[in-house]
Amino acid sequence: MIRYEVLKEDASSHARLGRVETPHGGFDTPAFMPVGTRGAIKGLTPDQVRATGTQILLNNAYHLMLRPGDELVARRGGVHAFMRWNGPILTDSGGYQAFSMADINAIDEEGVTFRSIVDGARIHLSPERAIAVQNNLGADIIMAFDDCPPAGDDDADGRARVQVAHERTVRWLARCVAAHARSDQALFGIVQGGRDLELRAASVSAIAEFDLPGYAIGGVAVGESPAEIRTVVEFTAPRLPADRPRYLMGVGYEQDILAAVRAGVDMFDCVLPTRNGRNAQAFTRGGRLHLRNARFAEDDEVVEPGCGCCVCSQGFSRAYVRHLFAAREMLGPILLSIHNIHHFQVLMLDIREAIRKDAWSSLFEAWPGLLPGAPPQGRERPLDRESSRQTTRKS
């Protein structure tokens, strides 16, 4: 089971500095979790992941359930032993994937039936099954199975679907709690409620009733605008129990993370650093660089001058990285995944320092793109921001 301690509360916002201890060691909060969908951060060894400053990572129960199978992983000693990551791991429940990726046959009170993306087999996922899968995988933190519909229209039908999802998520949480069979794993509840703040408040109240070791804000970044996401997060996060870690699922870009931290969020996951890295995009404090661009062909700068990651500190140039992508060498995606995860981990480190030392202005000096109202970062056209969440949990 986990233990959470708030070490410092920020004077000017809901931000807090904290520490979570798990059976596989601790992590500092606010924390960023890179996504190791199928039991691996794509292309990186655990040593390389650790060297980015990562303390906890995320695996997808949905993908591991389908292949190689959660029972097979259990017989290997669980995900930690299987993937040789001896630090904290969080698995998500598969709910989001079941609702967003699958060829769904039926959703009802019992659960979801869909076709496997691996072999087309008919799969049933229910609160009980999602918890059994995660008990088998053995992560330190596991997630409730929630009803997570896409952001619908703002009409009566759309609101009704969100209302159903909220109420069903509460009933499913009771079943998750009843099914959860391992005292060494912390089960987090997930708040739903869409863009409807009244429903969000109702969901917080109902979910917090379960007195769980942590709570997540779900049902965001499923198609809303960035402004809508921010409104929901700023409304919801401070209402969650202050003595438990708060996790915002699938968000996001640097500014989104900072806004959520200031709303009181402690944990984040996102595929942006790895997925965009595989697509030749480098995150830097000055914005994102698309290293396939011809203007980098003879650029002898490292990916980000001054960066301390294993890629920049060893002198790999933009010209070389561009060559690797042009030649379709897998070392290109690897180098940018390392750099980008490190970028997010240094962001979290600097945010934690800002909270610890009440030094937000130094943070904004070091990260000019984080200034409220700062223009969209980078010389390259930013990616569609809405894609960050779908990006996240789908991969």
Quote the Cα angle for 98-232-144, to 5°: 35
Interaction of residue 335 with its own copies, rule CB under 8 A: yes
Question: Residues 7, 104, 121, 297: which binds its own copies (CB under 8 A)?
Answer: 297
Q: Which is nearer to its own copies, 44 or 355 (CB)?
A: 44
Q: Which is nearer to its own copies, 82 or 96 (CB)?
A: 82
Active-site choice (70, 147, 256, 269): 269
Q: Decide if 217 contacts 237 (C-beta within 8 A).
A: yes
Give 142's strand partners: 91, 187
HEC string of 110-133? Answer: CCEEEECCCCCCEEEECHHHHHHH
Q: Decide if 289 contacts 335 (C-beta within 8 A).
A: no
Q: Distance between terminal CA atoms of the chain? A: 27
Q: Which range, of 154-162, 217-225, 287-295, 326-334, touches its own copies by CB under 8 A?
A: 326-334
Question: Residues 1, 40, 101, 371: which binds its own copies (CB under 8 A)?
Answer: 40
**Number of residues in contact with its own copies, rule: CB under 8 A?**
41
Question: At its nearest, how many Å lie between its own copies and the CB of residue 324?
Answer: 6
Question: At its nearest, how many Å lie between its own copies and the CB of residue 125?
Answer: 19
Active site residue 269: yes
Instruction: Give the strand pairing for 141-143 and 89-92.
Output: parallel
Q: Which is nearer to its own copies, 181 or 294 (CB)?
A: 294
- Among residues 50, 52, 32, 56, which one has the least CA distance to residue 342? 52
What's the CA gap between 258 and 253, in Å, rounded? 9
Question: At its nearest, how many Å lie between its own copies and the CB of residue 330?
Answer: 5
What's the CA gap between 60 and 52, in Å, rounded? 21
CA distance readout (Å), 115 to 70, 120, 126, 375: 17, 5, 14, 43
Interaction of residue 101 with its own copies, rule CB under 8 A: no
Question: Residues 8, 14, 19, 38: which binds its own copies (CB under 8 A)?
Answer: 38
What's the CA gap between 389 and 339, in Å, rounded? 21
Interaction of residue 320 with its own copies, rule CB under 8 A: yes
Interaction of residue 117 with its own copies, rule CB under 8 A: no
What's the CA gap between 192 and 183, in Å, rounded? 25
Question: At its nearest, how many Å lie between its own copies and the CB of residue 394?
Answer: 15
DSSP 29-66: ESEEE-B-TTSS-TT--HHHHHHTT---EEEEHHHHHH
Interaction of residue 298 with its own copies, rule CB under 8 A: yes
Q: Which is nearer to its own copies, 129 or 322 (CB)?
A: 322
- Among residues 111, 147, 103, which one has the least CA distance to residue 132? 111
Q: Is 290 helix (H, G, I), strand (E, B) or coil?
A: strand
Active-site choice (70, 92, 146, 196): 92
Q: Which is nearer to its own copies, 203 or 340 (CB)?
A: 340
Question: At its nearest, how many Å lie between its own copies and the CB of residue 327?
Answer: 4
Question: At its nearest, how many Å lie between its own copies and the CB of residue 294?
Answer: 11
Interaction of residue 315 with its own copies, rule CB under 8 A: yes
What's the CA gap between 132 and 176, in Å, rounded? 9
Contact track, its own copies, 42-81, x by CB under 8 A: xxxxxxx--------------x---xx---x--xx----x
Interaction of residue 208 with its own copies, rule CB under 8 A: no
Question: At its nearest, how many Å lie between its own copies and the CB of residue 221?
Answer: 25
Kind and range of the H or E run holding 339: helix 331-356
Residue 127 burial (CB < 10 Å; 0-12/13-18/19+)? Answer: buried
Question: Residues 82, 96, 99, 188: which binds its own copies (CB under 8 A)?
Answer: 82
Q: Which range, of 138-146, 295-303, 363-371, 377-385, touches its own copies by CB under 8 A?
A: 295-303
Q: Provide the binding-site residues for its own copies, judged by CB under 8 A.
A: 38-40, 42-48, 63, 67-68, 72, 75-76, 81-84, 297-298, 300, 310, 314-317, 319-320, 322-324, 326-327, 329-331, 333-335
Active site residues: 92, 269
